[in-house]
Amino acid sequence: MGVIHKFQKSDKEWNWEGVIKKDYPLTSDPGGARGVSVRWLIGREEGAPYFALRYFEVEPGGQTVLDQHQHDHGVFILRGKGTVVLGKEKKDVSPGDVIYIPPMEVHQLINQGEEIFAFLCIIPNKEHLKSMGAL
């Protein structure tokens, strides 16, 4: 059976019923995350076997981890202004922009504005990939 998480918008935050806001993991390296939170909107908890949909907020001056994975990502920018690092390139992004990050590409999202920088990120279910021998 499907699941609905009703949207609850306030002046300060975007929330969804039944979804917990979590701090994004912090690391000690200079490429580590700063001022980032994540909400898992669709994933294991909802019974999704093939993908996960996450909502990220990056505070002004914040950034995600400079990262690289075996899976690809789809990103849709919802709010604010930022910069995406894709390999050795940096590109400015804003609401409505869509980003594809292929497997093993170094990537990072950085808030370049004075307001929250927010985006949706879809990734494959890692357990499904392992069962297929893709990881």
CATH number assigned to the domain comprising residue 87: 2.60.120.10
Give the structural domain span for 106. Answer: 20-127
Please say whether the beta carbons of 73 and 107 come within 8 A: yes
Assigned domain for 2 exists: no
The catalytic position among 52, 77, 121, 123 is: 121
**What is the pLDDT averaged over residues 51-58?**
96
Asked if 121 is an active-site residue, the reply is yes
Q: What is the dihedral of CA 55, 59, 60, 65, to 10 degrees?
A: -80
Sign of the alpha-carbon torsion through 20, 61, 95, 43? negative
Residue-wise pLDDT for 79-124, tens only, equals 999 999 999 999 999 999 999 999 999 999 999 999 999 999 999 9
In angstroms, the CA 78 to CA 97 distance is 8
pLDDT at 20 over 80: yes
Assigned domain for 11 exists: no
In angstroms, the CA 47 to CA 125 distance is 11
In angstroms, the CA 79 to CA 133 distance is 36
Number of domains the chain is built from: 1
Assigned domain for 91 exists: yes
Confidence of residue 29 (pLDDT cuts 50, 70, 90): low
Phi-psi region of 12 (alpha: psi -120 to 50; beta: other; left: phi over 0): alpha
Assigned domain for 119 exists: yes
Confidence of residue 24 (pLDDT cuts 50, 70, 90): confident
